[in-house]
Structure 1
Amino acid sequence: MTKYTFPDNFKWGAAASGIQTEGNTNKANDNIWDLWHKQAPERFYRGIGSDLVTDTYNRYQEDVALMKQVGFNSFRTSIQWSRLIKDFETGEVCQDAVAFYHAYLDEMIANGVEPMMNLYHFDMPAELQQKYGGFESKKVVDLYVDYAVTAFKLFGNKVKYWITFNEPIVPVEGGYLYDFHYPCKKDGKLAVQVGYNIILAHAKAVHAFHQLALADTQIGVVLNLTPSYTRDDRAADQQAAWYADLLFNRSFLDPMVKNEIPQELCELFAEQNITPETTSEELECITSAKIQFLGVNYYVPRRVKAREAEYELDHFTPEVYFENYINPNGRFNPYRDNNEILPTAIYDIAMNVRDNYGNIPWFLAEIGIAMDEESEGKPDENGIIDDSFRTELMKEHLIQLHRAIEDGANCFGVHQWTFIDNWSWTNSFKRRYGFYRLDLATGDRIAKKHGVWFKELALSNCFED
């Protein structure tokens, strides 16, 4: 048995989002997921929308007690723009939302759970999408910054860790390239403009945050980083991986962490005739917006090979430059679409951040191991669900993280996705990730065995394997 001990004051907890947990009670406005579900409920697994969620709005006290029960010392969730702001043009807030978020934050703090609050988790207000095109518009960039400043001022005395965006590339991919998020467009040039505008919104919010000079607070961003591995060592495959890394990782990582826009990316956009509209003032804003920490979300590796078949889509996607590849010798999760399991990717991500991004302080903001309700099975005689599969895989990933920390990675915490099984976009509740199962019929939270192990890890700051 080897003992793996983590740094002092390490953050242990989970991640979630407001839209996936709060429910719609007393929400001031719809967001794009509410709108899309009304328009096309058939796009959602079993037709379930975000109104059927864990109902944190009404059950936050119970849920914070459950956080404490599994040893959390921290928790990341998000404020809903569509809940907090009543009138987007004037910035008028919804007082009910202000009261709710204050009470929720107070409950976490009173129970020793450090809140880490994200401002945007794929949940554009429907009105702003319909009126302006969401982040297609720089008008919405400025409205987002107004919202961010409101949140900083309202809750800045209670939140020490602020996050501008969770996985900002996902709305670009889902909404403008691959049709798995609203507004379901397929337009490479528009996708690049939306991506640029999100980076600009992040930068403006970071500057506004620093101007407020809130005491004992930090601001960062959470990116989903996916190492690109090749079929083999042939030069064409290595070039394919370089393109995948540039387009999926460095496109946001470099501007947001290094404050640099890769020249190679600019040249690629020019080659494809998809260069976004920019100004010199905006570029100066982006290249001077300093964050203090990074969150990294990791689930599966990306495997690519050189493009062999002709590219057939009528709009740009990154796959112009490569083809996706399945490793014939890989390990795969039988409970999540046979996605590959590769714990060593955690080490590779950590070394990349250490060596190429100034060893910025970072935390593993999401790592999720999916099962489904059938594979988790029914509760045992003690009322606990046996999800040992999840625990064993988590150990493998944490061993790689521990190795990275020993080699100098500046990691300060781990948040597992997620706390209670939550609604997950068009997949609704198809996949389960939580420390607790959510009974959709009753709303009951049912404990899982992994939470017992995690509590021992969080309280002792170590585990043996």
Structure 2
Amino acid sequence: MSEKYIFPENFWWGSATSGPQSEGRFNKKHKSVFDHWFDIEPEVFWGKVGPNIASNFYNSYKEDLAMLKDIGLNSFRTSIQWTRLIKDFETAELDEDGVRFYNDLIDECIKNGMTPVIVLHHFDLPIELYDKYGGWESKHVVDLFVKFAERAFQLFSDRVKHWITFNEPIVVIEGQYLYQFHYPKLVDGKKAVQVMFNLNLASSKAIKVFREMGCDKEGAKIGIVLNLTPSYPRSENDEDVKAAKFADDFFNNSFLDPAIKGSFPKNLIKVFQEDGVMFEFTKEEMEIIENNTIDILGVNYYQPRRIKVKESKYDESKGWMPDKYFDNYEMPGRRMNPYRGWEIYPESIYDIAINIKDNYNNIPWYISENGMGVEGEEKYINADGIVEDNYRIEFFQEHLKYLYKGIEEGSNCFGYHTWTPIDCWSWMNAYKNRYGYIALDLETQKKTIKKSGQWIKEVSKNNGF
């Protein structure tokens, strides 16, 4: 007989999307950096598909949320688009249609028995704040974000009890300032390091306002969602271990430590200072970070990092880059998702669980994204028109087994959300790889539950598998 995995009471079985990846640009008065990028360079997006329609969630949210209820989800994460809710970024004057839409969406979510989890920033900075101020390079933009957050709390915190300041803030740094996969595709390590500080500051300032407004009453919680990619050294050799430690500090602990401990990793600060790329800050700003830590943590987990000591000479022409201190390592025999080029290593979920338990106050946390993007899912459609995504079910089961092991050993995990409920638009990848429990036909916008959607319904009903 196979083993049974039963999860803690009131466990979240849910899924996550975001405003810019699902809603479409209907009735949106402002452009985000991604809207703008698509408008000027549509050819860099797979199949030239942009965010204009996405999954039509703006128009079909009632039917879509009913489908989510139908597959047994008890919680749902999405984001509020700054460019939809706010009419004037300087004064935070509201856009009436944006207010109506998000009110209706939250009400509908609750009506369907799902806990709404609301994110304030999911890579969708308004383009005019980038053009005017350099976006997250500017502390003025930090303060404008806090005004936007305050508006969102005023409008929705009577019903929303789980808030997230940022989704994957390190990706803003990697994509915009280091590795050129988000607009404006700069390579500027010094700016990257300043943005790292400013995003941490923006999160803490929003948390401060949340508590000052009394939104933390009746068990309401605020946190951050971080994509944690544990760095595994190639060997136990000191040099490899040191390289992996630096990669961990830069890509994971640069947000994990400030969010939970209120301070930055000491070794990281030392490197920034020695290399002349240290961020600008005031004593007061550091105190805000120190005194406004999170209540809950969301962890997006997809893949590990494999790291070795720097073996090639560092290319100084790029200026300062974190890659000065490590090389990526391709481990022989690793399991891959060939469509995404990502390693499949479910054991990391257990390592993350134990790290949070042992080194981060065993803070309440949940898996906020975990998923498998697959290209060409139409080839798995059966005679009944259902995508038989057994590979996805197996992927989830493997990861859940390691999560279960971490919970059994005392890690304080309260939920598991997948990416994503309905196939959604995914930045430059557009709809190349599909992730959903529910398939989307782009031509007709028809939505059909996949086999994994039927599977999660049973898991949710039984609180395990």
* The one of 310, 321, 325 aligned to 2:313: 310
Could you tell me how far apart the structure 1 residues matched to 2:324 and 2:11 are? 41
Q: Structure 2: 5+ residue runs without aligned partners?
A: none
Match of 2:260 in 1: 257
- 5 Å-filtered alignment, 1:381-392, equals 381-392=383-394
2:277 aligned with 1:274: yes
Letter in 1 for 2:393: T
Contact 1:361-1:410 at 8 Å conserved across structures:
yes
Please list the CA deviations of residues 42-75 of structure 1 after superposition, one character each: whole Å capped at 9, or x if unmatched: 2211211111311111000000111011100000
Q: In structure 2, what is the equivalent of residue 137 of structure 1?
A: 138
Deviation at 1:376, TM superposition (A): 5.0
The equivalent of 1:116 in structure 2 is 117
Residue pair 1:435, 1:448 contacting (<8 A) in 2 also: yes
Which piece of structure 1 moves more, 358-367 or 264-273? Answer: 264-273
Alignment partners' CA distance in 2, 1:333 and 1:179 = 22
**Kept in 2: contact 1:237–1:305 (CA 8 A):** yes
Distance in 2, matches of 1:456 and 1:376, equals: 24
Match of 1:322 in 2: 326
Say which of 282, 292, 295 aligns to 2:295: 292
Looking at structure 1, the residues matched to 22 and 129 of structure 2 have their Cα atoms a distance apart, in angstroms, of 22
Once residues 364 and 73 of structure 2 are traced to their aligned partners in structure 1, the CA distance between those partners, rounded to angstroms, is 20
What CA distance in whole angstroms lies between the structure 2 residues aligned with 1:156 and 1:91?
A: 17
Q: Is 1:370–2:381 an aligned residue pair?
A: no
> Which residue type is aligned with residue 53 of structure 2?
L
Q: What is the rounded CA distance, in whole Å, between the counterparts of 1:233 and 1:89 in structure 2? A: 52
Contact persistence 2:407–2:413 (CA under 8 A): yes
Letter in 1 for 2:7: F
CA drift at 1:430: 1.1
Q: Which moved more, 1:116-125 or 1:28-37?
A: 28-37
Matches within 5 A, 1:62-461: 62-214=63-215, 215-216=217-218, 217-312=220-315, 313-337=317-341, 339-372=342-375, 374-375=376-377, 377-461=379-463
Task: State the shift of 1:384 in Å.
Answer: 1.1
1:247-298 per-residue CA deviation (whole Å, 9 max, x = no partner) reads 1111111011111122211111012211111001101101111211000000
1:28 paired to 2:32: no
Q: How far off is 1:379 after superposition?
A: 2.8
1:122, 1:171 within 8 Å by CA — same for their partners in 2? yes
| Aligned residue type for 2:251 | F
Deviation at 1:459, TM superposition (A): 1.1
Superposed displacement of residue 375, structure 1: 4.3
Give the conservation status (yes or no) of the 8 Å contact 1:176–1:185.
Answer: yes
Secondary structure at the residue paired with 1:112? coil
CA positional deviation for 1:378: 4.8
2:222 alignment partner AA: I
Q: Any idea what the Cα deviations from partners look like across 1:126-179, whole Å, max 9, x if unmatched?
A: 111111111111110000000000000000011010000000110111001111
Offset, 1:401: 0.3
Q: Deviations over 1:302-357 (max 9, x none)?
A: 001111110115222211101001111211123322x2111100000011000000
Cα 1:457–1:22, aligned 2, differ >3 Å: closer, same or farther? same
Q: Report the AA paired with residue 414 of structure 1.
A: Y
Q: What secondary structure does 1:355 align onto?
A: helix
Counterpart AA for 1:437: A
Q: 1: CA distance between counterparts of 2:237 and 2:102?
A: 53
| Equivalent residue letter for 2:330 | I
- 8 Å Cα contact 1:293/1:360 also seen in 2: yes
- Paired residues, number: 461
**CA–CA distance in structure 2, aligned partners of residues 98 and 5 of structure 1:** 40
Q: What is the alpha-carbon distance in structure 2 between the residues aligned to residue 175 and residue 39 of structure 1?
A: 16
Deviation at 1:195, TM superposition (A): 1.1
1:437 Cα offset (Å): 1.2
Name the CA distance, whole Å, in 2 between partners of 1:129 and 1:19: 17
The letter of the residue matching 1:187 is D
Q: Which runs of 5+ in 1 are unaligned?
A: none
What amino acid is the match of 1:385?
A: V
Whichever residue aligns with residue 419 of structure 2, its letter is W
CA distance in 1, matches of 2:318, 2:444: 47
2: distance between equivalents of 1:435 and 1:392? 13
2:381 and 2:447 map into 1 onto residues whose CA distance is 12
AA aligned to 1:176 is Y
- Asked if the contact 2:377/2:434 (under 8 Å) is kept, the reply is no
The answer (yes or no) to whether the contact 1:383–1:447 under 8 Å persists in 2 is no
1:169 is paired with a residue of what secondary structure? helix
Alpha-carbon distance between aligned partners in 2 of 1:424 and 1:67, rounded to the nearest angstrom = 20
Q: Is the 8 A contact 1:176 1:187 kept in 2?
A: yes
Note the C-alpha offset of 1:406.
0.2
Bigger mean CA deviation after superposition, 188-197 or 308-317: 308-317
Query: What is the CA distance between 1:199 and its match in structure 2?
Result: 0.6
Query: How far apart in 2 are the matches of 1:126 and 1:367?
Result: 29
* Secondary structure of 1:368's aligned partner: coil
Could you state the TM-score of these two structures normalised by the residue count of structure 1? 0.98
Paired with 1:439 and 1:315, the residues of 2 have a C-alpha distance of 45
State the one-letter code of the partner of 2:348: A
Structure 1 contact 377–386 (Cα < 8 Å) conserved: no
SS in 2 for 1:320: helix
The whole-number CA distance in structure 2 between the counterparts of 1:48 and 1:169 is 25
